[in-house]
Amino acid sequence: MTNTTTPIKKQSPVTAEDNKKGIENHKKAASHFEAAAQHHQDAAKHHEAGNHEKASESTIKAHGQQCLANECQKEDAKHHAMNS
């Protein structure tokens, strides 16, 4: 039986600009997810009130915010992949 070890990859130093971009991506994603959550809360309240048309509108808004948040996450993943 042969044991092999994988060398530990040394990470590149993170520049101030890279760090700032990463922080912005996380903040943008969080903001969009918070907005999506609020729209989902609104949709639930509209359903409870029997106003299904407004609930549908809120659901669509929530989905849009989730899509925007996912784009921010993709950008952040690319950012991390390029710096590792």
* Domain residue limits at 22: 16-82
Could you tell me if residue 3 is inside a domain?
Answer: no
Could you tell me if residue 11 is inside a domain?
Answer: no
Q: What pLDDT score was predicted for residue 12?
A: 67
* Structural domain count of the chain: 1
Query: Where do the DSSP E strands lie in 2-67?
Result: none
Q: Which two tokens stand for residue 49?
A: 């009130």
Contact of 83 with 65, CB cutoff 8 Å:
no
Quick: pLDDT tens for 47-81: 999 999 999 999 999 999 999 999 999 998 888 78
Cα–Cα distance between 22 and 17 in angstroms, integer?
Answer: 9
Could you tell me if residue 46 is inside a domain?
Answer: yes
Q: Which two tokens stand for residue 76?
A: 């952040």
- With tokens 């959550």, the residue in question is 37
Contact of 13 with 84, CB cutoff 8 Å:
no
Could you tell me if residue 25 is inside a domain?
Answer: yes
Could you tell me if residue 24 is inside a domain?
Answer: yes
Q: What pLDDT score was predicted for residue 83?
A: 72
Quick: pLDDT tens for 1-41: 667 776 666 666 778 888 899 999 999 999 999 999 999 99
Could you tell me if residue 9 is inside a domain?
Answer: no
Residues in the chain: 84
Could you tell me if residue 10 is inside a domain?
Answer: no
Contact of 11 with 83, CB cutoff 8 Å:
yes
Could you tell me if residue 62 is inside a domain?
Answer: yes
